[in-house]
Structure 1
């Protein structure tokens, strides 16, 4: 995997978590600009999905197995969009908390994804 992309996804996910966590602490629901932030993080995660699939297709093999790598790769790409969708259903401050939790989960998935690839 590309370490710079993994770090970029993790850092932007943590920034989104802090931003939505701040909105939660102020009693605000997710706003349009939060969804723009979610889109940025999601685009980075989708880029990582493409890079991971290309690496697998070109003969690269993760240290801990292809199936687990693919599961984490797909899960990391779907994490923030799923949290954003759930925040639309909960238009209170808890929607912001949901997105913050999803972004923290994505950051943890990035650490694990790096460990799976590199061993």
Structure 2
């Protein structure tokens, strides 16, 4: 797959996790600018999904199977939006903590995607 994109998504997710984690430590809910950050990370995950599907269509074969790879790509795409929705439901510091946790999960999924592809 595209290593630079995987690293970019991982770094952006960890930056979002730190940002929202800091908001949680300050006892703040998610704000509009947090949602902009979540949108940026989600767009990067969407770009990775598109690149992954294109690589599969071009004949690329993940080491652990195409089905597992696609499921992880879809899971990576929906991790941050799911956390964003939960942070809207919980308008306290725990909403920010939920987004931080979701962003860390996305970073871990990126490492796993790298391993599945054969990195």
Judge same fold: TM > 0.5, yes or no: yes
Quote the residue 1:24 is aligned against: 24
Give the deviation of 1:118 after TM superposition: 1.2
Structure 2 residue runs without a partner (length 5+):
none
Aligned pairs for 1:15-94 (under 5 A) are: 15-94=15-94
Quote the residue 1:98 is aligned against: 98
Q: Distance between the aligned counterparts of 2:21 and 2:31, measured in 1?
A: 13
Partner of 1:56, secondary structure, is helix
Q: Distance between the aligned counterparts of 2:46 and 2:85, measured in 1?
A: 17
Query: Which portions of structure 1, spanning 4 or more consecutive aligned residues, are displaced by more than 2 angstroms?
Result: none
1:117 aligns with 2:117: yes
Give the deviation of 1:99 after TM superposition: 0.2
Q: Distance between the aligned counterparts of 1:59 and 1:77, measured in 2?
A: 22
> Could you report, residue by residue, the CA deviation over 1:32-53 in whole angstroms, capped at 9, with x for unpaired residues?
0000000010000000000000
| TM-score normalised by L of structure 2 | 0.98
Q: Distance between the aligned counterparts of 1:61 and 1:43, measured in 2?
A: 24
Q: Distance between the aligned counterparts of 1:106 and 1:4, measured in 2?
A: 16
Q: Distance between the aligned counterparts of 2:56 and 2:4, measured in 1?
A: 18
Q: Distance between the aligned counterparts of 1:61 and 1:88, measured in 2?
A: 39
Give the deviation of 1:58 after TM superposition: 1.0
Quote the residue 2:12 is aligned against: 12
Q: Distance between the aligned counterparts of 1:53 and 1:34, measured in 2?
A: 29
